[in-house]
Amino acid sequence: MANTIIDRRKNPGGKSSGNRQKFIKRTKDEIRKSIHESLGKRSIKGSGDDQEVVITRKGISEPQFNHKSDSGSRDIVLPGNEDFVEGDLLQKPKGGGSGGGSGEGKASNEGEGEDEFGFALSNDEFINILFEDLELPHMISKENKTVERFEMSRSGYTNEGNPAQLNLEQSMINSMGRKIALKTPKLRKIRELEAILETEEDEDKRLELEEEIRKLRIRANSVAFVDPVDLRYNNFSKKPRPTSQAVVFFVMDVSASMTEFHKELAKRYFMLLNLFISRKYKRVECVFIRHHITARECSEEEFFNLRENGGTTVSSAFELAKDILKDRYSPNEWNIYFAQASDGDNWSEDNEKLKNILSKDILPITQYFSYIQVGEMRKGSYYASGNLIDEYKKLESTHKNLISKYIENRSDIYPVFREIFKKQDAKAK
């Protein structure tokens, strides 16, 4: 379970809690921006090593208020100074290009720039920032739910706990109640004895009453302000959280028209998707399908590493997906997702068959279908078949659960991925 650190230190001079929170938010935004910009330069399939992140010092500098050096007047007495006396004018240091500034660095004519601040993020921290605002769209509760994890829920108070869970309000209420309960009888007894003392004439009895009143006052004042018995801690219990099942179909074109560059783009995209699913979800299964003129289900290792190719018949992949769904994944129990990557080429005879399968069998039972076309944007095709993304755009106009995008180079992968799997507003869900 993650630990939460509560900073109860007083704010340093000249700073406020609001400014500190703004500073933390700005720093996180700078880190997030740096990570997003650097993804095109690093491997998507992480090795587990710490990731170097560089942000500008300007982005993390805290704002400060300073008096303008050329305005205002100040009286300064410098004791023991033999060169100046009160009333003398001191020449301010010269700055700018004259070289008379007070800074420690050296002048340069190489233009503007920003200092950089570098640090290492663990692989887990890096991935958490990477995927923190992404999700599988349109996931809904199905009939078959399985308890996969528990979440901590408030469950009253307890007499024992750690300081971070101390409930100050409840503890003070208990303290006040205890003091009232212990002091009230003594105070009542004191008032009764004081009433008797006022009418008592016997000197010995008066001394006895005064002594008893004194002891009662000591006992009443000795009641502790806060006793360990008063302390109450927030209690938390594990609450089962039902999670819906989901299956994601990875469909990749490995036909002869897919060059090594095309396959690399597709694999990088699928690696990112696979990493996202494995880190964000526990009850999500993945089905890997490779296709050329025929399609077959394979393991994750085979999906990313086999080197087979052939002709192109895209419909074969979804015929296979239909059979797998019928046998293993009922739409009544599973959220169904598809992620497809292709270079856009398909035999013309197969296009109509593909559209029929998608519109009648696949899209009606699918929560979300994403298609990416790798390689340069183009009109038509190298063959007489047309451009496959054009067919998907036609389906996209009538099916809101379908999205199609281009990935032309490595730098496009992560922006497109974020656009496809960005969190939706509650109204959109």
Residue pair 342/350 in contact (Cβ under 8 Å)? The answer is no
- Determine contact, residues 286/245, Cβ cutoff 8 Å: no
For residue 318, what pLDDT band results from cuts at 50, 70 and 90?
A: very high
- pLDDT (0 to 100) of residue 66: 56
pLDDT (0 to 100) of residue 46: 45
CA dihedral for 223, 224, 228, 230, sign (positive or negative): positive
Among the listed residues 140, 353, 146, 358, the one whose alpha carbon sits nearest the alpha carbon of residue 249? 358
Whole-model pTM: value is: 0.55
Distance, in Å, from the CA atom of 345 to the CA atom of 384, rounded to the nearest integer, reads: 9
Q: Cα–Cα–Cα angle for 176, 180, 183, nearest 5°?
A: 130
User: Average pLDDT, whole number, for the chain?
Assistant: 75
d(CA 282, CA 244): 10
Give residue for tokens 């009662």: 216
Distance CA 414, CA 257 (A): 24
Please give the backbone phi and psi of residue 368, each rounded to the nearest 5 degrees, phi first.
Answer: -160, 135
Q: How far is CA 107 from CA 57, 69, 96, 100, 220, in A?
A: 19, 22, 9, 10, 75
Residue 182 in this model has a pLDDT that exceeds 60: yes
Integer Cα distance of 119 and 344 in angstroms? 42
Q: Of the candidates 329, 272, 320, which has an alpha carbon nearest to the alpha carbon of residue 134? A: 272
Taking residues 251-264, what's their average pLDDT? Answer: 89
Res 335 pLDDT > 60: yes
Name the band, by pLDDT with cuts 50, 70 and 90, for residue 250: very high
> Could you give the CA distance from residue 424 to residue 134 in angstroms, rounded to a whole number?
9
Condensed to tens digits (0 to 9), the pLDDT of residues 393-414 reads 889 888 989 999 999 888 888 8
pLDDT at 1 over 90: no
Q: Which residue has the higher pLDDT, 40 or 197?
A: 197
pLDDT of residue 102: 45
pLDDT in tens, 367-385: 999 999 998 776 544 443 4
220-238: pLDDT as tens digits: 887 787 888 888 888 888 7
